[in-house]
Amino acid sequence: MRILITGGSGFIGSHLCERLLNEGHDVLCLDNLFTGSRDNIIHLMDNHRFELVRHDIIEPILLEVDQIYNLACPASPVHYQYNPVKTTKTSVMGTINMLGLAKRVRARILQASTSEVYGDPKVSPQREDYWGNVNCIGIRSCFSEDTEVLTYDGWKLFKDLTIADKIATLTKTHKIEYHKPIEIIKQRYAGQLIEFKNFHCDILVTPNHKMYAKKRSDSGKSEFQLLEAFQSINWERARMLKVTDYNSNDVEWFYFPKDTDRKNSKAPFVEKIKMDDWLEFLGYFITEGCVSPRKRKRFINGKEYINYDYRVLIAQSKSNEEYWNKIKRCLKRLPFNFVESYDHQFCITNKQLANYLKQIGKSHEKFIPREFLNVSRRQLKILFESMMLGDGSKNGQIYYSNSYRLISDFQEILFKIGYAGNIACHDKRKKNWLYQIHILNRFNTKYRMPSYPARTIKEYDGYVYCVNVPNHIIFVRRNGKALFCGNCYDEGKRVAETLMMDYHRQNKVDIRIVRIFNTYGPRMALNDGRVVSNFIVQALKAKPITVYGDGTQTRSFCYVSDLVEGMIRMMNQDGFIGPVNLGNPDEYTILEFAKKIKEFTGTKSKIVFKPLPQDDPMQRRPDITLAKKKLKWQPKVGVGEGLAETVEYFRMRLKKVSSKQ
């Protein structure tokens, strides 16, 4: 057979190349040598059935092969943290290219996935049907810390979210649903972020964050999809989504709270008001009204008494006859008496109403109570129209307020009635700034789905945030500009597994998926940052052996020849596509393993302890029941035998490096 191995010059890939050559196959090693090494395959170069092609799989390639082992991806912490964008592009775009090749030439393809898909598991050992406990995107796919997300209770900074909050999410049919977050992600991040900034959006995200975008299509039939921010598309011709369909049921009545203070009030208690009438009145009050208690002194029988008139005032000049009459008609439908005062305002004297409206606050504190922001779309339109009458511009395109909370509530109304709106600061000269929101036309595609800007790169050092929700699309804003965006889900190898399954279901590609647990053996890189290589190199150099945490976290270690055997068996059996765990179920604490390394190397190195890295899993042990059943496979090389071979390899490598210096 002619077999393609991507990442074939790496640690595992080189052993696989060697094994398949020994079985008589033609082997094509595809590698860009980003983390692989020619030294790993130099002994194979004279074999006429071996060929090395230097190529990066994020770019398509045309080949004729019978089988594909897709191992290409930086695997060690040092390499994938050095260039996280490269890691993600290799896992996602590289897998797509290899699946396309497999589809075209009808080759069977095996995806080398990883035990990292289980995250920090809550069950041990991990079975293939365990979904994992994953910090889905780690430090690589979140929003900057000044980004907000829309919840059922309004706009909130990500850092202020709780697991009880209900996040506004978008369904496949572009309807709004509210879901509690599956998880809330907070990560320390130092590096480059991608910024999308123009009149319509201002968002700062990690490189592989998923933007919700509609690419330009010559046929005009493209759909919105989740696209990583780093993808090389013409973003200036891609569309963002700012408006969608929202609806809720009409609410017939507004009920006054029964505990509203009306002590000594002679007016009868008003239990309820038609919600449509109340919303119209509320809009007028919020924009043009206030509660103004008036202190009055009275003398009865020579004794002074103080009481208050609880007045609700709504300002409107009688010179604007249209607006004056509109407010007057609304007030007539309410169960409160009112008077026209001085040709520029209406006055309602009612303690129950005044005490209820006091909660809305003074001008710079005003807001809309949440119960009125979750009514139906039609009813929100009533509230919108009455607020625009008070503080909207003459052309109906701008709304003003010196309350940022109120302007945020108004932006939510726009979103729910099918308009888009961007918040800006109109005047910063006063103590309480004057904000404005530009109202964008709902019927114009330019505003409903405006174009993204060109990307820019920003250096960033701080925390990044996101959430994971079932629909994976959330409504976010930064600096007053809101749009739909992807949330944190699926990364690297997890996406690769998803792509494998999608190609299998949709295109009938013949796939196999293995999940590789900790593997060790000769040809590991000296500086790859993994437990085995770190401990052995430190021990052989007589340096302190570094254990992170207290060393009680556990790992299982599989020798590379056992792993290669499992991969070949998985590739060559029929009827089972996986995923299947490949690893050694024998479990050691990190501290036990460090002591074992000391024993095998004879070093006098001391063991030192350092803080545990964020998201480092406490347990990592495979359940290989499925591999035993389907592949008739289990590890044969014990840790003692494997470590002896590995220590000897590192000893020789270090001598070779030392002789060159």
Which residues does residue 132 pair with via DSSP β-bridges, in sequence order?
none
CA 219-222-225 angle, 5° bins: 165
What is the pLDDT at residue 220? 57
Q: Residues 6 or more apart from 266 whose CB is under 8 A from it?
A: none
Q: Is residue 601 part of a domain?
A: no
Which residues does residue 607 pair with via DSSP β-bridges, in sequence order?
545
- Dihedrals phi, psi of 416, to nearest 5 degrees: -80, -20
CATH of the domain at 358: 3.10.28.10
DSSP 8-state secondary structure symbol assigned to residue 123: S
Mean pLDDT of 51-68: 92
Read off the amino acid at residue 285.
F
Q: Is residue 537 part of a domain?
A: no
Kindly tell me if the per-residue pLDDT of 535 is higher than 80.
yes
Q: HSE of 183 in the Cβ direction (CA atoms, 13 Å)?
A: 14
Indicate the pLDDT class of residue 212, thresholds 50, 70 and 90: very high
What is the pLDDT at residue 138? 44
Indicate if 297 and 423 belong to the same structural domain. yes
Indicate the pLDDT class of residue 78, thresholds 50, 70 and 90: very low
What is the pLDDT at residue 428? 65
Highest mean pLDDT among 219-228, 440-449, 622-631: 622-631
What is the pLDDT at residue 125? 77
> Which residue, of 440, 472, 502, is where some domain finishes?
440
Q: Which residue has the tokens 């780690």?
A: 138
Is the peptide bond preceding residue 125 cis, with omega within 30 degrees of 0? Answer: yes
Indicate if 142 and 37 belong to the same structural domain. no
What is the pLDDT at residue 594? 92
Mean pLDDT of 8-33: 94
CA-CA distance, 43 to 342, in Å (whole number)? 99
Q: Which residue has the higher pLDDT, 490 or 186?
A: 186
> What are 401's two structure tokens?
């307020």
Mean pLDDT of 29-50: 91
Indicate if 510 and 461 belong to the same structural domain. no
Report the residue count for the chain.
Answer: 661
Indicate if 456 and 571 belong to the same structural domain. no
Indicate if 453 and 411 belong to the same structural domain. no
What is the pLDDT at residue 627? 94
Q: Which residue has the tokens 């069977």?
A: 108
Indicate if 566 and 647 belong to the same structural domain. yes
Indicate the pLDDT class of residue 137, thresholds 50, 70 and 90: very low
Q: Residues 6 or more apart from 564 whose CB is under 8 A from it?
A: 12, 15, 16, 19
Indicate if 262 and 407 belong to the same structural domain. yes
CATH of the domain at 565: 3.40.50.720
Mean pLDDT of 303-307: 74
Kindly tell me if the per-residue pLDDT of 613 is higher than 70.
no
Which residues does residue 291 pair with via DSSP β-bridges, in sequence order?
312
> Which residue, of 429, 463, 486, is where some domain finishes?
486
Kindly tell me if the per-residue pLDDT of 29 is higher than 50.
yes
Mean pLDDT of 85-95: 70
Q: Is residue 337 part of a domain?
A: yes
Q: Which range among 86-95, 366-375, 521-530, 538-547 shows the weakest confidence by mean pLDDT?
A: 86-95
Q: Is residue 529 part of a domain?
A: no
Number of separate domains in the chain: 3
Q: Which range among 62-66, 114-118, 508-512, 633-637 shows the weakest confidence by mean pLDDT?
A: 114-118
Highest mean pLDDT among 214-228, 543-557, 604-618: 543-557
Q: Which range among 56-70, 306-320, 494-508 shows the weakest confidence by mean pLDDT?
A: 494-508
Average pLDDT over the chain reads: 86
Indicate the pLDDT class of residue 462, thresholds 50, 70 and 90: confident
Q: Which residue has the tokens 């109304």?
A: 413
What is the pLDDT at residue 531? 85
**Digit-coded pLDDT (tens) for 566-576:** 999 999 999 89
What is the pLDDT at residue 323? 92
Please give the model's pTM, rounded to 2 decimal places.
0.56
Contact 93, 499 (CB under 8 A): no
- Dihedrals phi, psi of 150, to nearest 5 degrees: -80, 130
Kindly tell me if the per-residue pLDDT of 140 is higher than 70.
no
DSSP 8-state secondary structure symbol assigned to residue 544: P
> What are 576's two structure tokens?
């089972």
Q: Is residue 609 part of a domain?
A: no
Q: What is the Cα Rg of the chain in Å?
A: 33
> Residue 287: how many CB atoms within 10 A of its CB?
23
Q: Which range among 255-269, 331-345, 452-466 shows the weakest confidence by mean pLDDT?
A: 255-269
Kindly tell me if the per-residue pLDDT of 76 is higher than 70.
no
Indicate the pLDDT class of residue 490, thresholds 50, 70 and 90: very low
Q: Is residue 342 part of a domain?
A: yes
Kindly tell me if the per-residue pLDDT of 313 is higher than 80.
yes
Q: Which range among 471-475, 566-570, 611-615 shows the weakest confidence by mean pLDDT?
A: 611-615
Contact 332, 339 (CB under 8 A): no
Indicate if 18 and 59 belong to the same structural domain. yes
CA-CA distance, 567 to 635, in Å (whole number)? 12
What is the pLDDT at residue 384? 96
Mean pLDDT of 467-490: 84
Distance of CA 218 to the CA centre of its chain: 30
Kindly tell me if the per-residue pLDDT of 654 is higher than 70.
yes
Indicate if 286 and 395 belong to the same structural domain. yes
Indicate if 573 and 436 belong to the same structural domain. no
CATH of the domain at 179: 2.170.16.10
Indicate if 502 and 651 belong to the same structural domain. yes
Q: Which residue has the higher pLDDT, 7 or 502?
A: 7
Indicate the pLDDT class of residue 445, thresholds 50, 70 and 90: low
Domain region containing 13: 2-131+492-523+558-586+620-660
Mean pLDDT of 191-199: 89
DSSP 8-state secondary structure symbol assigned to residue 93: I
Q: Which residue has the higher pLDDT, 338 or 95?
A: 338
Indicate if 151 and 232 belong to the same structural domain. yes
Mean pLDDT of 129-141: 52
Indicate the pLDDT class of residue 75, thresholds 50, 70 and 90: low
Percentage of the chain modeled with pLDDT above 90: 51
Q: Which range among 24-28, 49-53, 359-363 shows the weakest confidence by mean pLDDT?
A: 359-363
Q: Residues 6 or more apart from 133 whose CB is under 8 A from it?
A: 118, 119, 120, 121, 122
Q: Residues 6 or more apart from 206 whose CB is under 8 A from it?
A: 137, 139, 140, 141, 142, 189, 193, 194, 229, 464
Q: Is residue 497 part of a domain?
A: yes
Positive or negative torsion for Cα 72, 76, 79, 82: positive
Q: Is residue 598 part of a domain?
A: no
Read off the amino acid at residue 376.
S
